[in-house]
Structure 1
Amino acid sequence: MTLAFLCIVIGGSSVFYANYIYYKYIIGAYHNYPEEVAKKLRRAIFYTKTDFQPKEALKYYKQALAVANEVGMDPFSDEVMGIKIQIAGLLQQVHQVEKAILVLEQVRGDNLRWLELYDEQKELHANVDMRKKKTRILAKTIAISVKLGEHYADGAVWDRDMALERLVWAVETSLAEKIRRQAAGATEESDGPWMTDEEQGASLEALAHGYEERNLHYLATPLFLQALGLKGKTDCHSVVLMNNIASSLAQQSPQAARAAQAFAEKSAVASSDAPSGPVATKEMMVESARTWAERALDVAAHVKPPERDEECDLGCAVATHNLGEFAEMVRDTATAEKRYREAISLSRAIGFQDGVDTSSERLRALLGQG
């Protein structure tokens, strides 16, 4: 009887959970679509989330797009673009990154052509609804460009030039639009909502990582600094950004650091020609990097639950390891050994095996143990 009771409870719970999932995520997610389109999307999401069959899911997503076109849905609406973005996400999920890129590039190209037409038709600029539509499409295009930067940097594609091109465009465009809105006194009521500081910071950070992958650390540093400056609060991700700043500073030449200073003063992605004047020494660069790593540790120590998450713990381990490397750079072997041992202990405590392995390897090399 106990077993039967448990089976009834489990069975009833399963039915309840299935209904909850169905109404919340299958039906509720598509209330903005005409029923003819929503019907196809429900099938697509079933084969994406419940019974994973990529070919079936892709078939129904394509049918949803065809029906959306037949019933006259705006191809630049969030709903229609959302279907295309879901297709790209499905392709990424099955490791067909090149095809995901083709889908997103097509959406991006269509959006850019619409934005060009908007700019040419000045009479549209007086229409509040059209201004809001322009803002929405521009923001979506920037987000798609950031995603394309990620895809081009994927190991299966590894087109770093295109990754940087898409990310640079996203950052330049988002900053230019922010400046334009400020100059025009634009508001959410007049032009629609724009990207938040956190979203713009994410674009800057993505571009900075793109520069890091090409060892252009002098370009990454000011972008990490700007991303940190756009954060509305100090949290565990601030720790990550401070670590990134420290690493970028330590890996660039003094001449490049001087260029980075001019670069940061001018704009996020402008020319980085080094100005004339005294150049910092390598020791000064390492000292600056050490300061940022120690600041990361200090910030992490003051972030308390529930705001504290694993980013803080990982950030502490990484910052401590970095301090060991910075000490090595200035031939302070005693401090380097101490920091590596601390990093090993921290990494082991949080189950960060990569951290344990990396710090252990550097410690062995430092002690001449091979």
Structure 2
Amino acid sequence: MPETMIPASPKTDTAPPRSALWGRALTVFAWLSFLSETIIIGTGGAVRLTGSGLGCSDWPLCTPESLVPVFEVQGIHGLIEFGNRLMTGVVGIIALVVVLLVLRRYSGKRGLVRALWFAVGGIVGAVLTYFLVTLVSRLSGAEEAPLAFPFATGVLLLAIIAAAVHSVRTTAARRDLVTLAWIVLAGVVAQALVGGITVLTGLNPFIVGFHYASSLLLVCVTAAFLVRLKTAPGPRERAVPTWFAIVTHLTGLVLAMTILFGVLTTGSGPHSGDADVLRHGFDATVLAHVHSWPGYILAGLVLFLTIAAWVLRLEPRRWLLVLVLAILVQVGVGVWQAREGLPPVLVGIHMVLAALSAATYTVVVLRLRRPVPAED
């Protein structure tokens, strides 16, 4: 009996397509970017709350003679401050990877190569600026050039902005993701520059407050990137009634006021970052009460929006539930720290919770609109 020949079944390629791999990598690093931006608020708070703001007395070096802290001279404060500087590098590397992944996926190899050329130009320009400013300072008789690195960082930041504008203009798909990714990278570089200015100005409380507020905004941008990454592209329509959208945006204004007065309150309190740093000069006790007023109003508005969203079955109801819980915990921590005399641990938790509350509010606002159905 002749053998029956059974044709071999073709091999099935179970490997995911390359675009899916790029998408998974982008999702992973987008989450890492959000987490690192949140963590650096905690490490920055630790610098301030432990009195380590001038643990590294110079910038970008830790001391005029050393890049890293000398434990015998600076002790634990130098290690804490330098650790926060290292965290800035981690945040920057992750933000850069997100930009490269976004460009590779939505702009192709050509868009990625162009961005790399901008990067090379920015680095070369920054190096030339550094040596030029140093040379001018030496010719003028100065032994040091404290402005060399800030000017070099500024040149690098300008190159990033130019690359961002070019990428957004030349990318046809998902310009929203490209824009948000570049904003985070430029923001990290700008934050490094502001951090250096903070040290060089001896921890000026207004600059320190701006430094924190900018970090909080970057947390919100990374949260927005995560939301948009999982949202279908194309035109969008309002998913809630007009009155609900208006009240939501008014809530955002109250949230901003609460954070602003919180920054001013901390800037007038005992946690200056160093024992010899002068504060704002405002009455911290009065500011603490002023800070609490919009905080209570914020809690009431968020609670109202949450109840209304669940009754009407509106799109952002689940995230509003998260937000109301975060605000209530934030209020509880705020009252607790005030009664306990502002212990550093509670103040640090309060700072991180403020950033997470702002990020959650950002998600709520983005849920006010939804993609238009394909048939429309």
Does TM, normalized by the shorter one, top 0.5?
Answer: no
**Which one has more relative contact order, counting CA pairs under 8 Å at least 6 apart?**
2
Q: Normalised by the size of structure 2, how large is the TM-score?
A: 0.29
More helix by share: 1
Q: Normalised by the size of structure 1, how large is the TM-score?
A: 0.29
